[in-house]
Amino acid sequence: MAGFKPPKPEPKPGGLPFWRVLPAWLHDGLSVLSDKAYRMKMGQFRLPTRHFFMLNDPPLIRRVLVDQADNYPKSDILGFMLKRLMGDSIFTSNGALWRRQRAMLNPAFEATRVKLVFGQMQDATRAMIGRLDLVADGSPQAIDVETTHVTADIILRTIFSKTLSRDKAEQIFTAFNLFQEIAYALGMLRVFRVPTFLYVRRNREANRVAREIKGLLEPLIQERLDLIAAGKTPPERDFLAAMIEARDPESSAPFGFRELYEQVAMLFLAGHETSASALAWTLYLIACQPDVQERLHEEILRVIGPEREPELGDLRAMDFLRDVFRESLRLYPPVAFFAREPATTECMRDKTVAPGSIVFISPWMLHRNRDHWDAPDEFDADRFNTDRGIEAARCAYLPFSMGPRVCLGAAFAQQEAALILASLVRRYRFETVPGHTPKPVARLTLRSENGVMLRLRRRDAAADSSAAAE
């Protein structure tokens, strides 16, 4: 019997003229992919102004991201998209600046620090349960808005030791969705060397939204610095404390205020947005497959029971939960495309890749590569326990990238996701909304263009207690 195939944009016919491809590309990165794109090892797209290459072959991807990473810095297109919001943060910087930032930030994300903030994750998860209990009546709910709320709340608590109101959460959700839509479109125009200053209204909107988000974060940083300057004792366990304490390994200088804001903005926005996307897609996938959801529920009851709050050690014992989340990341990687620009001329599969061209690596495409994955468009959480799945996960799976620029917050994100999913699936049953199918679009992150609507219902606690006792 064929497995469950979640939504995926219909592949475009190959060989479309540029004037038909460009509008789709300005909308989102998935709109231009043909069926051939999922089968090729390396594709090439030529314009008079620039050459583009798309890699879908693990050895070539490893060459760019790992073996010759210094020769393939991040494209300045990403910096152009995000500069007005997060400046030269570690997410967009290259070279010596990036190495300095990474050395200063690495201690903040060591395993010990990630474990220390687990209590703050628990607090935000409890607050989420309190909100959802009020709407767990089977009525349609925008679950992607809620995953944005809880992940933004977690990141705010773990950076600033502050909580997030519902109004602020919705403000962030709306502002960042608008910002990434505008930034992505302007970035794509720049890719094709179309003058972006002509788009006055869109630039004004992007600047306004960036100021709005900046206005939320900068006062919180200043408040902490003022507290320290006044000789008062600030919170010791959050990430802001670690970043204030961070020192340049060569000069021993700390981050200045602007740098501190840029790194905080990167952590806050990239951290909560990618996790929110991954969680929303995971909940949609299990809502579509009641048997998977019940199997997950049984594992959670077996490990933590019906009432006890999940502890850090419990999360490591839930193997099926881990595999469900891994499969969700395979099908819907939060960052669907990475862009790199070669610093020197290289030859790949008899193609000349020269400076000024852009090399795209797509986790979305690689995770659906038919040469490495069985039934790549189907959801199968058990695939990671097969020989072929294990091999594919080793060479053709990169939801957090790989090499020197592997995601700084990967351990944090996985710990957060396991806690939230365990708490949600134990308490609620998730169901799809008839007539609603999410439409994945890849801009700065992979989101659903029309949201992710689900119904949730409280489970029978007494029945769960009986099941756990058996």
Residue 148 CA to residue 169 CA, distance in Å, equals 7
**Structure-derived torsion over alpha carbons of residues 25, 342, 403, 325, reported in degrees to the nearest 10:** 10
Nearby residues of 372 by Cβ (< 8 Å), 6 or more positions away: 58, 366, 391, 392, 395, 396
b/e burial code for range 22-57 (CB count within 10 A of at least 16 → b): bebbbbbbbbbbbeebbebebbeeeeeeebbbbbbb
Cβ(281)–Cβ(332) below 8 Å: yes
Distance, in Å, from the CA atom of 123 to the CA atom of 109, rounded to the nearest integer, reads 20
- Residue 94 makes CB contacts below 8 A (sequence gap 6+) with 73, 74
Please give the Cα distance from 296 to 301 (Å, whole number).
Answer: 9
Q: Which amino acid is at 265?
A: A
Spatial separation of the C-alpha atoms in residues 442 and 446, rounded to whole Å: 4
Among candidates 458, 462, 470, 456, which has minimal Cα distance to 147? 456
Distance of CA 61 to the CA centre of its chain: 20
Annotation-wise, does 407 bind a ligand? yes
Q: How far apart are CA 37 and CA 43, in angstroms?
A: 7
Q: Could you tell me which of 367, 399, 401 has the C-alpha nearest to residue 74?
A: 401
Binding residues: 407
Binding residues for heme: 407
